[in-house]
């Protein structure tokens, strides 16, 4: 995984904006071919344009990862277009507005678990079974996994589950030459964080900071691959 991409293929979920788009542009700069997946076609097309990839080296898949059959469908498309996978970036994530647990709709609980935990695990399983000569699986967790704020208990639980899954998969997959890592960022200035006068957005991490951490995993020799990377803003974005 030290060499530039050339014929290597990466799948990035949630590639239409924010952190996923920043990761996509970095991987394109390293000559990876890309599968870009999310629900919003125009955003994915804009990511493809920013990556400067021609259609044969890029595949857009419109998919809702909350659906149980989405991971298999996504890999069906990748198998058909590229016939290989070298890097999986489990980036897509979703959280409802912060809501006290006793008022959180059951549908939101199911969607948070499906998008942030079930889909990444299912995609890792599908990717690992295809990575016969090694590869990398990078999971976007969150600092909420370790210190959740009020009204984000289920999101925090899903991300904590993803961190634990990463640690277990790291041990299981390293003998196959597959690197598995979790990136654990604090607040990043993206659409996921709604406008809030109590937050200083200039103090937040930028999507490019997170993309750089992902590249550190991609570039690391297998025996030096970190199982998790925590990223915190230099200043606390919380005002007062």
Distances (CA, A) of 61 to 42, 133, 135: 12, 25, 21
- In the complex, what is the shortest distance from the CB of residue 148 to ligand NAP, in angstroms, rounded to a whole number? 12
Catalytic residue among 155, 185, 204, 210: 155
Q: Which residue is at the shortest CB distance from ligand NAP?
A: 93
The smaller minimum CB distance to ligand NAP, of residues 134 and 186, is found at 186
CB-wise, 71 or 135, nearer to ligand NAP? 71
Residue number, 54 or 191, with CB nearest to ligand NAP: 191
Give the number of residues written for the chain.
240
Q: Spell out the residues 6+ positions from residue 8 whose beta carbon is closer than 8 angstroms to its own.
A: 31, 32, 33, 86, 87
Coil, helix or strand at residue 182: strand
> Other C-beta atoms within 10 Å of 43: how many?
19
The answer to whether residue 155 is catalytic is: yes
For ligand NAP, the binding residues (CB under 6 A) are 13-14, 16-20, 38-40, 43, 63-66, 91-94, 115, 140, 142, 185, 187-188, 190-193
Closest contact distance (angstroms) between CB of 179 and ligand NAP is 19
DSSP 8-state class, residue 188: B
Burial of 212 (0-12, 13-18, 19+ CB in 10 A): middle
CB of 59 to ligand NAP, least distance (A): 15
Residue 30's DSSP bridge partners are none
Q: How far is the CB of 228 from ligand NAP (least distance, A)?
A: 13
Q: Which long-range contacts (CB under 8 A, 24 or more apart) does 98-101 make?
A: 98/149, 98/150, 98/151, 98/152, 99/151, 100/150, 100/151, 101/151, 101/153, 101/154
Distance of closest approach, residue 65 Cβ to ligand NAP, in angstroms? 4
List the catalytic residues: 155
């Amino acid at each position: 995984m030290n060499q530039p991409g050339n014929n290597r293929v990466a799948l990035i979920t949630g590639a239409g904006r924010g952190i996923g788009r920043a990761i996509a542009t970095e991987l394109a700069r390293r000559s990876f071919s890309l599968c870009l997946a999310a629900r919003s076609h125009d955003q994915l097309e804009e990511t493809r344009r920013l990556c400067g990839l021609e259609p044969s080296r890029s595949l857009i898949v419109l998919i809702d990862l909350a659906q149980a059959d989405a991971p298999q469908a996504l890999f069906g498309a990748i198998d058909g277009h590229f016939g290989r996978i070298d890097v999986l970036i489990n980036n897509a994530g979703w959280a409802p507005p912060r809501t006290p647990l006793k008022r959180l709709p059951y549908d939101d609980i199911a969607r948070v678990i499906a998008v942030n935990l079930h889909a990444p695990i299912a995609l890792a399983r599908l990717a690992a079974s295809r990575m016969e000569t090694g590869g990398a699986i990078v999971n976007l967790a969150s600092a909420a996994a370790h210190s959740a704020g009020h009204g984000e208990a289920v999101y925090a639980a899903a991300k904590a589950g993803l961190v634990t899954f990463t640690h277990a998969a790291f041990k299981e997959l390293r003998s196959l030459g597959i690197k598995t890592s979790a990136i654990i960022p604090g607040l990043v200035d993206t659409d996921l964080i709604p406008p809030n006068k109590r937050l200083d957005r200039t103090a937040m991490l930028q999507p490019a900071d997170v993309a750089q951490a992902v590249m550190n995993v991609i570039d690391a020799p297998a025996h030096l691959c970190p199982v998790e990377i925590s990223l915190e803003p230099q200043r606390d974005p919380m005002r007062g």
